[in-house]
Every structure is written in C-alpha cells, then in structure tokens.
A and B are shown apart, each in its own frame.
Chain A
Amino acid sequence: GAGVSQSPSNKVTEKGKDVELRCDPISGHTALYWYRQRLGQGLEFLIYFQGNSAPDKSGLPSDRFSAERTGESVSTLTIQRTQQEDSAVYLCASSLTGTDGYTFGSGTRLTVV
C-alpha cells in the first residue's frame, strides 16, 4: 500500500482480556518495528522484525506481549491479560532497509478499563 496501515485505530478493552493489533507495512519494506507511546512521552521500542524473524525482542515489557510477522508483510502484536498500564498508543513503522527513514502508521490507541 501507499503507507503503513494499522487497525483498529482505537480499542477499548476490559482488564484481563486479550487484544490483537495489526500492522500492514509498506509493500517491499523488509524492516518492521513496533513502538509504544504513553501520553505525553516519547516512543518506547518494543520489537523489530527483519523479514519474518525477530532478532530483537528485548523491548517487550513482559511475557504477556508477543508479536509475529508472516509473508514479510502483515504483523500482529498480541497483548494477553491486558492491564491498565498497557493503555497507550501502539505505533508500527516500516523501513526499506532498517537504516533509512521509517514510515509510521497512525497507531492504535489502546485503553484498558
């Protein structure tokens, strides 16, 4: 596609429920990143994919968080047993090589109530 698409744009969920966030990167972009942004703060790195493999999962906050990527395209970020502190905007970005500029999606705003 022309840009990075994320869905849903907004998600309100009850504490303890699982959520799945989706990212469609720019076609042909091999590098894909997930970041988390809490209100009024900068971007917190979560995970990086090169192709379908994730060489760096160091940013995932806990084992409740997981991510996968298939077909060197779509990626999903899953949060199990959501907690209120998971409330944030989750941003996905893709890059052609990983060393050039990133193109971000508009994010998914997650609210855990």
Chain B
Amino acid sequence: TQLLEQSPQFLSIQEGENLTVYCNSSSVFSSLQWYRQEPGEGPVLLVTVVTGGEVKKLKRLTFQFGDARKDSSLHITAAQPGDTGLYLCAGTPTNDYKLSFGAGTTVTVRA
C-alpha cells in the first residue's frame, strides 16, 4: 500500500488549459515536497511545504498543503509543453525521517 496516493495517474491536456494533481494520505506529514522528473533524469525539487494550509506559488504553479497536513495539490495554470513530465509528491511522516514518494502523475501537454 502506497503511503501517498497520487491522482490522476495520467493527464493529457492541450496547451493553455489548467490542471490539478492531487496527493493524499491517511498519515500526517511534517513536510511535503513536489518534484518533477523528465526522462533519463532524476527528480528535481519544485517546492517544500511545511505548514498546514500553506499555499506557495512558483510562476504558473500553485502548491497547497492541506490544513491537517495529510494532503497536497499542485495546480498548473495555462499549461505549456515544457510542463510535460512526471510529477511526484513526497512526504516525511511526523513519526519518521524517511522521505516516501507517491507513484507519480504523468502530465503531457500537447502543443
């Protein structure tokens, strides 16, 4: 059983559309991170959220950490082909130090 459940598994949209990726768990996390991975490369950290209810923006990307620190979402506005990649959420439970990853969401933005 995955500690972090991501949905959807796959997402294919047209350039200019918006998208949201969800990351859910029954565990409470001291922090949650989002990474993007491109083929043949390791994941690259996009953001870390640590406070329940926190919202962080990175250009067209908006990240939200749930009030209870059990879930997070990534919203991309006006997606571009360069946003294509595997998006991974990862979290450190409050009773652990190990970073656990979700299975990822493969996002494809068509030109």
Interface residues of A (CB under 8 A from B): 4, 33, 35, 41-43, 45, 48, 56, 91, 93, 98-107
Q: Which B residues lie at the A interface, using CB under 8 A?
A: 2, 30-31, 33, 35, 40-45, 48, 88, 90, 92, 97-104
C-alpha gap A45/B4 in the complex (Å): 13
In the complex, 5 of the A-B residue pairs with CB atoms within 8 angstroms, ordered by the A residue number, are A93-B42, A98-B97, A99-B31, A101-B48, A106-B40
Can you name the residue of chain B whose Cβ is closest to the Cβ of A42?
B103
Given contacts A42-B88, A42-B104, 19 further A-B contacts (CB under 8 A): A4-B42, A33-B99, A35-B101, A41-B104, A42-B102, A43-B88, A45-B98, A45-B100, A99-B30, A99-B97, A101-B48, A102-B43, A102-B45, A103-B45, A104-B42, A104-B43, A104-B44, A106-B41, A106-B42
CB of A43 within 8 A of CB of B101, answer yes
Q: With contacts A101-B33, A105-B42 known, is A56 near B98, CB below 8 A?
A: yes
| A-B pair number, CB within 8 angstroms | 50
Q: Chain B: which residue is nearest A50 at the CB level?
A: B97
Whether the pair A100, B88 counts as a contact (CB closer than 8 A) is no
Please give, as numbers and ranges, the residues of chain B lying within 8 Å of A100 by CB-CB distance: 48
| Residues A99 and B104 in contact, CB atoms below 8 Å apart | no
Interface centre among A4, A48, A91, A101 (most CB of B within 10 A): A101
A42 touches B101 (CB 8 A): yes
Chain B residues, CB < 8 A from A107: 41-42
